[in-house]
Amino acid sequence: MKRMWAPRVCHSVHGHPLWRIFIKPCAAVPIVTVRYASRGPAKRFTDHKDVDHIRNIGISAHIDSGKTTLTERVLFYTGRIAEMHEVKGKDNVGATMDSMELERQRGITIQSAATYTLWRDCNINIIDTPGHVDFTVEVERALRVLDGAVLVLCGVGGVQSQTLTVNRQMKRYSVPCLAFINKLDRMGANPYRVLHQMRTKLNHNAAFVNLPIGKESNLQGIIDILDEKALYFDGTFGETVREDEIPGDMRQEAAERRQELLEAISNVDDKLGEMFLEEKKPSVQELKEAIRRVTLKRQFTPVFVGSALKNKGVQPLLDGVIDYLPKPHEVDNFAFLHKEGDENERLRMNPERSNHNPFVSLAFKLEAGRFGQLTYVRVYQGMLRKGESIYNTRTHQKVRVPRLARLHANNMEDVEEVYSGDICALFGVDCASGDTFVTDPKLHLSMESIFVPDPVISMSITPKKEAVEQFSKAIHRFTKEDPTFRVEYDPDSKELIASGMGELHLEIYSQRMEREYNCPVTLGKPKVAFRESLAAPVEFDFLHKKQSGGAGQFGRVIGILEPLPPEKNTTIEFQDDTVGTNVPKQFVPAIEKGFRMMAEKGLLSGHKISGVRFHLLDGAHHIVDSNEIAFISAAQGAVRQAYDYGAWQILEPIMFVEVTVPEENQGTVIGNLTKRSGVITATEGAEGWGTVCAEVPLNKMFGFATELRSSTQGKGEFSMEYSRYAPVSPDVQEEVISRYHEALGVSEEKKKKKN
């Protein structure tokens, strides 16, 4: 996954659709804005806006930091929703963003949805990124289509394990971000400690742009350090922002923090640095421009503070999103132009007006929901009108777009057209996530597909009762939506096997089957997806020959099975280098098929073969007896032969594990990770907390969560992310092989009994 830094497609400047936004009248809450007076209720936005007025952002956080609550506030203040509900609230309604019932119950965000809203004449698309790392694909997709992000930190918990993961992902995708230190109304909240952690643990050049007035239950408002003003959030829901003088006892601190902010920016911005040296005082406008410059370059992170729950500090954060996060055309996005033979050309398209550029977009999320097949699309260039036809550049299929919509959690609004920078949804378009759509069929463009890691864990899955139809419906939907979730029939164990990115990943799906499809399932013991690979090339020469009365079978294949370079160790390849007619060309596909069939199940341990190339060099045929079956069998025989003579090894998934524990537990955790064959890659400690990073085989991670919980009284946390495949140790190899033989033995016995 590390290697996957997926480049982005280009953007272009263009016009903007005629928004039809109907704001639900909110009777109980008159929206009176003092400072943010740019919009009133029930207004139709019909002005033609350009790409400068779009922000595509994600809100990322450690679980429970208040991401959902914050998003809810954002939608409320911007007039997109008329009511607010607390997550896990007493009113049993649940926050609007968590649309699935399960999310409501668990109060955590699983599936990412896109929603849009309007603030200060800008259209903000919020891509809800899931909090848990087991849902890697969701995160990859979300990061792919957003241009900037808000990193939410808990004012009490500070930088937590998940924060580190999210931070790493943002770095990988070069996503500029703002920080919001939330929950400052809580006992023990300390924004200064969190800022310190951002600097030391996340390596951000960060500084406050807002300061809290009062602390914990006495949190009253926010100081805007740039404008040198105090802001209070009046009204039942903090919807009225009132400006005032900075309280006397905070003036000095505000001045000091302003100086600190100036220094942090001057260190990375030439223009401001010069002014700083010349002791010139920059204007607020100059400061804002400087913050924008360095934030976009990821050299600085402005830090906002507040409490989403207590409705404090959210509106200034929204201003920050507009002022400091990138406009779609400020992010370099690339598409690939397919060229025959050659390497693909990387293309950064001309950011001209939409009308002048062909439409290019990426399908980044599929959902089979109440509205049928729904495809979330990010437009990178040009525009699309309802009723036009688009081409899928992968399948070359042409489809008409009968309906275009934008989404807000469960609801949608139809629109007539979409422009570059937009995020929208198509209906009834059959495609895979990661597909590129264009309107010009001659444009053989694609954005590199979103990286989909192979599942690393599997469990048997059995419906508890006779609900075959519901069960297969659910499986069909989930596997289509999430390419890292797969369900396959294993003919040996005669069981259905579900595979995914972690135990929680599979558990969530099993619960969703019960809740949403009334089809409870039983999951078996988790199994790691080992692979079988070659350590060195091995030659083969196999003749498949059968004479049984009538038509015989004859096929001979000669070649080499060879290891692929390390970066291709989860794939297999077939290469035909035969010359002449010893192997007639029409049989080559059969040989490839035979190889691929064998690769599904290695002979060492029953796991998939990977990192191997079947290099066909020569062979032989028989005028009468050669056919496809014969060559399929010949290829299979060749692989068996390679198992007799070759040096095979088992590979296992290695996980990147990050553990955060009270300092006194750090030593134990290091010891325990080492015991689990972990290699410690980094340790850090600050203010009573220790972080340990390690690479640990997934196979050894079972039970770690429980162990960690008990040895830290529930304080310890960890996150785990797939890293790569590596050879197992000799004892594990032996164990995996003997377990396989045992299982085979058992099933042999079963067979005998049946007969």
Ligand X SMILES: *[C@@H]1O[C@H](CO)[C@@H](O)[C@H](O)[C@H]1NC(C)=O
Ligand Y SMILES: Nc1nc2c(ncn2[C@@H]2O[C@H](COP(=O)(O)OP(=O)(O)OP(=O)(O)O)[C@@H](O)[C@H]2O)c(=O)[nH]1
Binding-site residue numbers for GTP are 61-68, 128-132, 182-185
Residues in region 374-433 near ligand Y by CB under 6 A: none
Q: Would you call 355 exposed, middle or buried from its count of C-beta atoms within 10 A (0-12, 13-18, 19+)?
A: exposed
Binding-site annotation: residue ranges: 61-68, 128-132, 182-185
Of 443, 371, 363, 368, the closest CA to residue 403 belongs to 371
Beta strands in 85-167 (DSSP E): 114-119, 122-128, 148-154
Tell me the per-residue interface mask from 454 to 473 with ligand Y, x by CB under 6 A, - otherwise: --------------------
The interface partner of residue 185, options being ligand Y, ligand X, none and the CB cut-off 5 to 8 Å by kind, is ligand Y
* Type of residue at 592: E
Residues that bind ligand X (CB under 6 A): 3, 566-567, 569, 651, 668-669, 672, 707-708, 710-711, 724-727
Q: Is residue 309 near ligand Y by the rule CB under 6 A? A: yes
Determine which helix (DSSP H) or strand (DSSP E) holds 697, and give its type and residue range: strand 689-697
The interface partner of residue 69, options being ligand Y, ligand X, none and the CB cut-off 5 to 8 Å by kind, is ligand Y
Nearer to ligand X, 567 or 687 (CB): 567
* Type of residue at 497: I
Distances (CA, A) of 456 to 346, 665, 721, 722: 32, 29, 10, 8
Nearer to ligand Y, 186 or 607 (CB): 186
Minimum distance from CB of 152 to ligand Y (Å)?
7
Nearer to ligand X, 726 or 737 (CB): 726
The interface partner of residue 308, options being ligand X, ligand Y, none and the CB cut-off 5 to 8 Å by kind, is ligand Y
Minimum distance from CB of 128 to ligand Y (Å)?
9
Residues in region 122-141 near ligand Y by CB under 6 A: 131
Minimum distance from CB of 109 to ligand Y (Å)?
3
- Identify how many contiguous H helices and E strands the chain contains and give both numbers: 16, 39
Q: For Cα atoms 241, 242, 248, give the angle at the middle one, nearest 5 degrees.
A: 130
Strands 240-244 and 335-337: unpaired
Question: Of 14, 16, 55, 67, which lies in the binding site for ligand Y, with binding defined by CB under 6 A?
Answer: 67
Q: Is residue 307 near ligand Y by the rule CB under 6 A? A: yes
The interface partner of residue 443, options being ligand Y, ligand X, none and the CB cut-off 5 to 8 Å by kind, is none
The interface partner of residue 516, options being ligand Y, ligand X, none and the CB cut-off 5 to 8 Å by kind, is none
Strands 648-662 and 717-727: antiparallel
Q: Give the max Cα distance, the chain.
A: 104
Coil, helix or strand at residue 386: coil
Distances (CA, A) of 22 to 19, 33, 42, 517: 9, 19, 6, 33
Distances (CA, A) of 290 to 257, 264, 479, 648: 17, 11, 46, 57
The interface partner of residue 96, options being ligand X, ligand Y, none and the CB cut-off 5 to 8 Å by kind, is none
Q: Is residue 333 near ligand Y by the rule CB under 6 A? A: no
Nearer to ligand X, 566 or 685 (CB): 566
Nearer to ligand Y, 153 or 230 (CB): 153
Q: Is residue 308 near ligand Y by the rule CB under 6 A? A: yes
Nearer to ligand X, 314 or 651 (CB): 651
Q: How is the beta sheet containing 572-576 ordered, strand by strand? A: 538-546, 553-563, 612-620, 572-576
Nearer to ligand X, 3 or 754 (CB): 3
Nearer to ligand Y, 460 or 719 (CB): 719
What DSSP line would sit under 393-404, residue for residue?
TTT--EEE---E
| Contact in structure between 55 and 325 (CB atoms under 8 Å) | yes
The interface partner of residue 710, options being ligand X, ligand Y, none and the CB cut-off 5 to 8 Å by kind, is ligand X
Q: Is residue 109 near ligand Y by the rule CB under 6 A? A: yes
The interface partner of residue 307, options being ligand Y, ligand X, none and the CB cut-off 5 to 8 Å by kind, is ligand Y
Nearer to ligand X, 447 or 669 (CB): 669
What Rg, from alpha-carbon coordinates, does the chain have? 29
Dihedral sign (CA 608, 610, 612, 618): positive
Question: Of 144, 186, 531, 544, which lies in the binding site for ligand Y, with binding defined by CB under 6 A?
Answer: 186
The interface partner of residue 131, options being ligand X, ligand Y, none and the CB cut-off 5 to 8 Å by kind, is ligand Y
The interface partner of residue 197, options being ligand Y, ligand X, none and the CB cut-off 5 to 8 Å by kind, is none
The interface partner of residue 80, options being ligand Y, ligand X, none and the CB cut-off 5 to 8 Å by kind, is none
| Contact in structure between 505 and 582 (CB atoms under 8 Å) | no
Distances (CA, A) of 682 to 22, 132, 518, 691: 51, 22, 45, 8
Q: Is residue 159 near ligand Y by the rule CB under 6 A? A: no
Minimum distance from CB of 56 to ligand Y (Å)?
19
Nearer to ligand X, 329 or 700 (CB): 700
Question: Of 23, 54, 57, 63, which lies in the binding site for ligand Y, with binding defined by CB under 6 A?
Answer: 63
Distance CA 626, CA 191 (A): 76
Residues in region 696-755 near ligand Y by CB under 6 A: none
Stretch that binds ligand Y, among 9-17, 290-298, 302-310, 664-672 (CB under 6 A): 302-310
Minimum distance from CB of 68 to ligand Y (Å)?
3
Question: Of 12, 56, 60, 68, which lies in the binding site for ligand Y, with binding defined by CB under 6 A?
Answer: 68
CB atoms within 10 A of CB 156: 18
Question: Of 12, 56, 60, 69, which lies in the binding site for ligand Y, with binding defined by CB under 6 A?
Answer: 69
Stretch that binds ligand Y, among 81-89, 234-242, 505-513, 575-583 (CB under 6 A): 81-89
| Contact in structure between 266 and 276 (CB atoms under 8 Å) | yes
Residues in region 84-103 near ligand Y by CB under 6 A: 86-88
At a CB cut-off of 8 Å and minimum separation 6, what does 461 contact? 487, 495, 496, 497, 498, 506, 510, 521, 522, 523, 524
Question: Of 56, 60, 65, 111, which lies in the binding site for ligand Y, with binding defined by CB under 6 A?
Answer: 65
Of 114, 67, 81, 132, the closest CA to residue 367 belongs to 114
Under the rule (CB under 6 A), what is the footprint of ligand Y?
A: 61, 63-69, 86-88, 107-109, 131, 182-183, 185-186, 307-310
